[in-house]
Each structure stands twice: as structure tokens, then as C-alpha cells.
Amino acid sequence: MKFVDEYRDAALVHKLAGAIARACTRSWTIMEICGGQTHAIVKFGLDDLLPEGITLVHGPGCPVCVTSAELIDQAVELALTHGAILCSFGDMLRVPGNGIDLLTAKARGGDVRIVYSPLDAVTIALENPARPVVFFAVGFETTAPANAMAVLRAEREGVQNFSILTSHVLVPPAMRAILGAPDNRVQGFLAAGHVCTIMGTEEYGPIAREYGAPIIITGFEPVDILEGIYLCVRQLESGRAEVENAYARAVKTAGNVHARKIVETVFEIADRDWRGIGVIPQSGLAVRPAYAAFDAAQRFPLTGTAPQGQTECISGEIMRGVKKPHDCPAFGTRCTPEHPLGAPMVSSEGACAAYHRYRSRAAL
């Protein structure tokens, strides 16, 4: 299959691993931002091919994982208290909030539906004009254009019973928060290619220069990731901190200009609470006042559930690159995909789910 098989070529993978080993003379810690990259690294054992001096840590690029517990509680509230048809992607249903998750809300009679696109939720609203329909709009820059399109379609077609509960987050402010933390150990980044297909590459340059951290934009296949690591190590070894685009087959400097305009039409930048990390200023997208009629947070009196206090989950430390999943004492015992303590064990992009699926504790 084009753009898959050639990026999984075993000979090229081992050639790149050898090049990394030859280039590396010191110890370096590199963070891959995206959960999709984490799953590829763990699934294909790419970290096992690296020299001992290279440590890969896993970033906050799992949108399900960083969605705050309060927003999940509000989604549950919409389904159970306000009688809304709550539409969501499937991986959100089992993420615990401060109270129950959406799957439990569905079991208790809430009308919670899995959809494959926010536009499906608009169609459901058209089919159910007497009921409010809310789409749980979660994600990074990648999913924001489709969610904005859903709002614009609803406005164009006069769908008055549709709104979105927004939990959009942005990558560059999270990178700044990680690099600026007192316990930071990250020295370079592998940035997520699909995010950059939308946002482009220009926002990364100031971050690389300010913090002295190379940023390599990569894809999600083994050759993509190892090429990104090689380029990052070369920069670190030479004392450079620049942005390099190793995913040029999909990413352009300006990104997708049309998609960015659609996002900017519907959303504005706002502070956002990242689960396990806390509030990062100017790190999210909120619905603009002009589209408040499609903002569930404005249309419904939402409260959420009071926090239950500290849990065993160390997701914040994992997503900041301070610890790895197997550093959690509950990993694989008290915390499993069937009984998760936190979101990273639930999501298909979560680091803990990747380790649990592909590596037993005994193998670590």
C-alpha cells in the first residue's frame, strides 16, 4: 500500500537506527507529542532499536486524555439532566469524569450516541427537531475544522436544536508549558504531522529558538519516526534548535489555509484546563460570541460534578514526560483498560493503553 509499506521497510528502519547510533554521543530525551506516534513506537518496538543514550517520553497529544473531568461531567449532565441527545466519538464514552462516564450515563437511560463525524450529529438534530442535540467536540487542531464546519452547516440550514460542547486544545502552548516546567527533562520534540497539516509549521519556530529545543515534524510510520529522531539527534549534537519538516508529503509551511479560516470563523483562542496538567493560558479554542447559539456551555445551565480528590492516576506526569506508564504502581493491576483509573488507559491514543496492549509489566 503506497505510503505505508515503504515506510515500514525493515532494511530502512535498521539503517536509520544505525545512523542514530552513530550520531549519538550523549544522552538525550526526546518527546513525541502525538499518541498515534506513541502507539507506533511501542507497537513496532522502535525504542528498543535506539542506543541507550536516547530516551523517548510521551507527550500530551491524546485529545481524550487531556479533556478535563469537569467537561465529561457536563456531557453526562447534558444527557441525564437536560435530556439532550449527546453525540460523541466512541473513545470518549469510557473516560472517567469526577462522577460517572458517558457509557454509564447511557446505561442509566441517557441518549448517548456514537458518531463518526460531527456532521452526523447535525443530521441527527435535523431528524429530531423536538430534542436538543449536542456534539462533544474534542480534539487538537486536527479535528477543529470539521467541528467548525458542523456549526456553520447548522447555521446555514437553520438547525436550532444543535450545539457543541467544546474541548479543543492547541499543541504549541502545551509545548511551552512542558519546556517551562521546573521538572522538565525534554530536550527535543517530534511534532505531530496531522496537526501540522492544518496549522502549518510557523508557530514552532519561536518555541524552538526560545527554549533551545529542536522540533521535527514527523509522520506515524516506523521510518517517519526514526527519521525524525535522527534529525533531532543531529540538531542536539550540533547545538542547533530549529524546526525541520520531515513530513513534507503532507505538511506545508502555511498548513491548510482554508481549514484555518473556517476554524478562526467559529472559534477563538481561550484558556483551557488540561486533565492532569492544569490550566494552560491561551491553549484552547472556545466558540466565538457570534456563534453562542451553538455553544452548549451557553445554552444550558451546566454545573458538573465536584472533584473527588486525588486518585492513583499519574497521567499528568506521564503526559509531561516526567514518568512513563510502567512507573505507575497501579499500571496493569488496579488500572486496566477494563477498569481504568485515568484517561490514558482508555483512549486508543493513550500511552498507558499502548504499553498495556503491547508490553506486559514483566517485559519492561
- Using alpha carbons, list the distances in angstroms from residue 187 to 211, 214, 227, 252, 270: 9, 7, 17, 25, 27
- Dihedral sign for Cα 247, 256, 203, 323, please: negative
DSSP run (H or E) holding 142: none
Q: What is the pLDDT of residue 337?
A: 85
Q: How many other CB atoms sit within 10 Å of the CB of residue 241?
A: 19
Q: What is the pLDDT of residue 306?
A: 56
* CA separation for the pair 327, 196 (Å, rounded): 31
Name 1's Cβ contacts closer than 8 Å, sequence gap at least 6: none
Q: CA dihedral defined by 281, 257, 143, 344, rounded to 10 degrees?
A: -50
Q: What is the pLDDT of residue 364?
A: 45
Give the CATH number of domain 65-170+255-299; options: 3.30.70.260, 3.30.43.10, 3.40.50.11740, 3.40.1280.10: 3.40.50.11740
Residue 76 grid cell: 453526562
Q: What is the pLDDT of residue 360?
A: 62
Q: What is the pLDDT of residue 143?
A: 94
Q: In a 10 Å sphere around its CB, with 0-12 CB exposed, 13-18 middle and 19+ buried, how is residue 103 labelled?
A: middle
* CA separation for the pair 271, 61 (Å, rounded): 17
Q: Per-residue pLDDT tens, the chain, 364 aa: give them.
A: 466 778 888 999 999 999 999 999 999 999 999 988 999 999 999 999 999 999 999 998 888 889 999 999 999 999 999 999 999 999 899 888 888 999 999 999 999 999 999 999 999 999 999 999 999 999 999 999 999 999 999 999 999 999 999 999 999 999 999 999 999 999 999 999 999 999 999 999 999 999 999 999 999 999 999 999 999 999 999 999 999 999 999 999 999 999 999 999 999 999 999 988 899 999 999 999 999 999 999 999 998 665 655 578 888 888 888 899 989 999 988 888 888 888 888 887 889 989 998 886 544 4
* CA separation for the pair 270, 248 (Å, rounded): 30
Q: What is the pLDDT of residue 339?
A: 84
User: Are residues 11 and 326 in contact, defined by beta-carbon separation less than 8 angstroms?
Assistant: no
Could you tell me the residue ranges of all domains in the chain? Answer: 65-170+255-299
Residue 287 grid cell: 466558540
* CA separation for the pair 231, 131 (Å, rounded): 53
* CA separation for the pair 39, 354 (Å, rounded): 5
Query: HSE-up of 277 (CA within 13 Å, CB side)?
Result: 32
Q: What is the pLDDT of residue 338?
A: 83
**For residue 80, which amino acid is it?**
L
- Dihedral sign for Cα 137, 171, 31, 276, please: negative
Q: How many other CB atoms sit within 10 Å of the CB of residue 180?
A: 10
Q: What is the pLDDT of residues 306-315, one digit of tens each?
A: 565 557 888 8
Residue whose C-alpha cell reads 466519538 in the numeric block: 89
